[in-house]
Structure 1
Amino acid sequence: MGSGTIGQSWCALFLAAGHQVTAYDPNPSRELEIRAFVSNSEASLRALGYSNAGSLTDFCFTTDVVKAVEGAQVVQESAPENLALKTQLYRLIEPVLDRKSTVLSSTSGITLEMLQTCFFDPSRILIAHPFNPPHLIPLVEVLGNESTAPDLIQWTLSFYEGLGKVPIELKKSIPGHIANRLQAVLWQEVLHLAKEGVASLSDIDRAIVNGPGLRWAIYGPNQLFSLAAGADGLEGFIDHLGPSFQDWWSAAGHVELDTDTRQFIKRNYPSVDENERRAIQAYRDHLICRILNEKKSENRVAPGDHLNPPS
């Protein structure tokens, strides 16, 4: 429900996984865009093992949101980040939803509590926020609360695992969820460093790609910092580098996305034409697939992924 960039990506994944998909958008031209996206994503999804990648046999499109959800078991809502619009859509679809239907919102900025006010029965909606592009990146951030139907969070986690995703459950509602907040903080420091003349935007990108970014595809910062201290683990890391980190946190920059910053970005980061943009995107998707397949070829849980907090 909603067929922009995120919705199109979800369509490609659901079809590749063998599901019947009805896409809704008020703009009829979206149908051709979805069909093109599904076709263009076939190679990447086949590389990841989805045998139905590129198939449009089980696809249909409608500009009628009520028809779109009739008989649906799952509604993946990816409408624009506008609460009034989402409210209008939810009020239209709720009377015709199957009793066991689940609505999963891709929203990144609207809280679950706000979405639940749009429903007479708030127990059937959860947040299931993907990371772009959803058809390739495994992460899905899932959030329910005390109003959510019993067992629906676990069902949702299992649903996405069945699609080959890596869902995580958020225990608390917070704007931006987890991954977006982390990359927002990083980007703010990137812009601060560039505006302070420490390095160019392009070179800061290179520093990330050829430094910590390589490690982040394997482990998160807690595990990496624990490894860095050897047998002393994370406590040893804090003992050794904690004071430096505290200084860096205190000196972290604050940047507003105002006219000055936007003009700075425009002057200092090169724009590309459509052909080059597509080439960059294809290269990104190709390497994402190679990384994911390399991790999958290990055919085992990564050492450390099983770790839980001490009881």
Structure 2
Amino acid sequence: MSTTPSPVAPEDVRRVACIGAGVIGGGWVAHFLARGYDVTAWDPADDAEEKLRRLVDAAWPALEQIGLADGASKDRLTVAPTLAEAVADADFVQESAPEKLDLKRSLLAELTAATRPGVVVASSTSGYPMTDMHSEAADNGRLVVGHPFNPPYLIPLVEVVGGDKTDRAAVEWASRFYDIAGKSVITMDRELPGFIANRLQEALWREALHMVANGEATVKDIDDSITEGPGLRWAFMGPMLTFALAGGEGGMAHMLDHFGPSLKSPWTRLEAPELDRALRDAVVEGCDEAADGRTYADLVAERDQGVIDVLRATGRLGKDAT
């Protein structure tokens, strides 16, 4: 385990390397560019650069709305021909490869070998603990999870946690860097498969699939039940405080005493349903119906504007937002 400190302080980071340039990796690229960093990206796909620049172009209007940092420019993006060239001068590395454990293990080992000593490398994994991913890396003390939410250039949250070989200093460094880079950071004290937010999303997702599989609700019914109901509250107050308010002046204590017995009611089925062809097709067809002719680009623009509107309405855009 390495105890080498990062070669730069979090506030002195100038160049970020983004390894993997798909939806999440490309979203990270857009975010870091908008925050005024130089960004070097690498992805093994033949058409990666074309797709990445198209993604950044699509994200830029939303980023201009919420406010660009001084010096922010799409021209500060470089796409490197090799992984080694992408990370050679990086002060921080964000890995966003596909969610395949063997790939993550070999890639993180390659990244620690190719970067300067001490440079913190963060993985965007949505579920794997770092302890499961760092086994092939010789210098694994500087490997952390930095789990974002899609799109990373708009959704503030990033969950930061190390593995059993990660130096605590690397976790603290990463958390401080993300904070400076404009993210809302949860620094976890321990590893948890799926982290925090994905565990909560997964419970909702499984119940939604059960309702579709059993013909109890359509895809549109499920989405409307959140956007027109509890989702409006969750935009500014989480489920725990929301439930506490359900207890009136007695707060959570009254809520639990009054509604606690209902926890034994068989309302939810947290075991995942069998994702057979019929359920898959029902979900896909339901999403097509809910899209109602809107293209992927249309839906991305609608989502981005919706996030901006919520952030603006709840006072979380920051002083630079227009």
TM-score by length of 2: 0.85
* Higher mean displacement: 112-121 or 13-22: 112-121
In the TM superposition, what is the alpha-carbon distance from 1:250 to its structure 2 partner? 6.2
In the TM superposition, what is the alpha-carbon distance from 1:284 to its structure 2 partner? 1.0
Tell me how far apart the structure 1 counterparts of residues 215 and 101 of structure 2 sit (CA, whole Å): 40
Residue matched to 1:21: 39
Residue matched to 2:158: 140
Matched-pair contact (CA < 8 Å) for 1:142–1:157: yes
* Higher mean displacement: 240-249 or 15-24: 240-249
Residue matched to 1:197: 215
Matched-pair contact (CA < 8 Å) for 1:125–1:148: yes
Alignment partner of 2:313 out of 294, 305, 308: 294
Residue matched to 2:143: 125
In the TM superposition, what is the alpha-carbon distance from 1:95 to its structure 2 partner? 2.8
Superimposed CA distance per residue, residues 46-92 of structure 1 (whole angstroms, 9 cap, x where no aligned partner):
21122469722221102300111102110100011123223333333
* Higher mean displacement: 92-101 or 261-270: 261-270
* Higher mean displacement: 224-233 or 190-199: 190-199
Matched-pair contact (CA < 8 Å) for 1:46–1:53: no
Aligned length: 300
> Percent identity over the alignment?
37
Tell me how far apart the structure 2 counterparts of residues 64 and 273 of structure 1 sit (CA, whole Å): 41
Say yes or no: does 1:270 pair with 2:310.
no
Superimposed CA distance per residue, residues 106-139 of structure 1 (whole angstroms, 9 cap, x where no aligned partner):
0113221122212112101000110111111011
Residue matched to 1:11: 29
Alignment partner of 1:282 out of 285, 288, 301: 301
Could you say what secondary structure the match of 2:41 adopts? Answer: strand
Q: What residue ranges of structure 2 are gaps of 5+ in the alignment?
A: 1-18
Could you say what secondary structure the match of 1:296 adopts? Answer: coil
- What is the identity, as a one-letter code, of the residue corresponding to 2:77? F
- What is the identity, as a one-letter code, of the residue corresponding to 1:50? L
Counterparts of 1:94-113 in structure 2, within 5 Å, are 94-113=112-131
Tell me how far apart the structure 1 counterparts of residues 75 and 283 of structure 2 sit (CA, whole Å): 44
Residue matched to 1:231: 249
Matched-pair contact (CA < 8 Å) for 2:21–2:43: yes
Tell me how far apart the structure 2 counterparts of residues 158 and 138 of structure 1 sit (CA, whole Å): 14
CA RMSD of aligned residues (A): 2.4
Matched-pair contact (CA < 8 Å) for 2:131–2:165: no
Matched-pair contact (CA < 8 Å) for 2:109–2:134: no
Superimposed CA distance per residue, residues 156-207 of structure 1 (whole angstroms, 9 cap, x where no aligned partner):
1111111221110222222221212211111211222233333322112111
Matched-pair contact (CA < 8 Å) for 1:21–1:59: yes
Matched-pair contact (CA < 8 Å) for 2:147–2:160: yes
Matched-pair contact (CA < 8 Å) for 1:27–1:63: no
> CA 1:95–1:229 in 2, change beyond 3 Å: closer, same or farther?
same
